[in-house]
Amino acid sequence: MALIGILGGMGPLATVDFMEQIIRLTGAARDQEHLPMLVANLPHTPDRSAAITDGGADPLPALLAGIDLLNRNRVGVIAVPCNSAHHWYAQMRAHSEAPLLHIGEVCAAAIAPQVTRAAVLATRGALTAGFYQAALVERGIEPVLPDPDTQQAVSACVAAVKADRLGDAAAHLCAALDALTAQRIEAAVLGCTELPIAARELEMREFALVDSTLELARETVRYALARGWNRPA
């Protein structure tokens, strides 16, 4: 039995959202056509962004413990629906027998080819880590980062989703997107898995929103269906 391994709980609602995208994208007509998953939902993992920017507790031991747990149970691939955790992607990959998808890479690859300027909405930690900026520049896309006030709104949105205050979260995200509208961007990367949950409460924008949770789910489903994991052994 080949299982999709999910290292989650960062945060828990984002993990559930990611699983739901996988289920919807599988397009199954009955239970037995769906994809098996093993989900380690480990919310006690220390805050990733605070560790990167403020010297907070190191999440790497908890991340590696989760990777170990999934490998012990012989998952066939691992997805981590938390962007900031990808600051430790190299360490997690080196530690894992199963291949590890990279949320930032798959998300950057999903931006339409005509886009030349894209905003990156993410935690302060993920922006400090810099993997989104590098992935965009590599594709010839100029990354546009929020000013401090706008970043404050993005961070407040993330915290509100983690506390299940979706109305507040949507208001914060709306303020951030309004501020970015003046920046002549053609796309905005929702580079934190809490942001798409808030975005679903909002109206469409004149620029495209690139949903990192959805793009990671698409890649995960593609990987698993190509290997026939939806078919019972």
Residue (29 or 204) nearer to a copy of itself, CB: 29
Which run of H or E residues covers position 75?
A: strand 75-79
Minimum Å gap between C-beta 42 and a copy of itself is 5
Residue (96 or 133) nearer to a copy of itself, CB: 96
- Per-residue CA distances from 133 to 36, 137, 207, 209 (Å): 33, 6, 18, 16
Minimum Å gap between C-beta 113 and a copy of itself is 31
Minimum Å gap between C-beta 9 and a copy of itself is 7
Minimum Å gap between C-beta 101 and a copy of itself is 18
Instruction: Give me the half-sphere count of Cα atoms (radius 13 Å) on the Cβ side of residue 34.
Output: 11
In angstroms, rounded to a whole number, what is the distance separating the alpha carbons of residues 177 and 157? Answer: 11
Q: Would you call 223 helix, strand, or coil by DSSP?
A: helix
Under the rule (CB under 8 A), what is the footprint of a copy of itself? 1, 9-13, 15-16, 19-20, 23-24, 28-47, 69, 72-73, 159, 162-164, 232-233
Residue (46 or 76) nearer to a copy of itself, CB: 46
Residue (21 or 133) nearer to a copy of itself, CB: 21
Contact 89, 16 (CB under 8 A): no
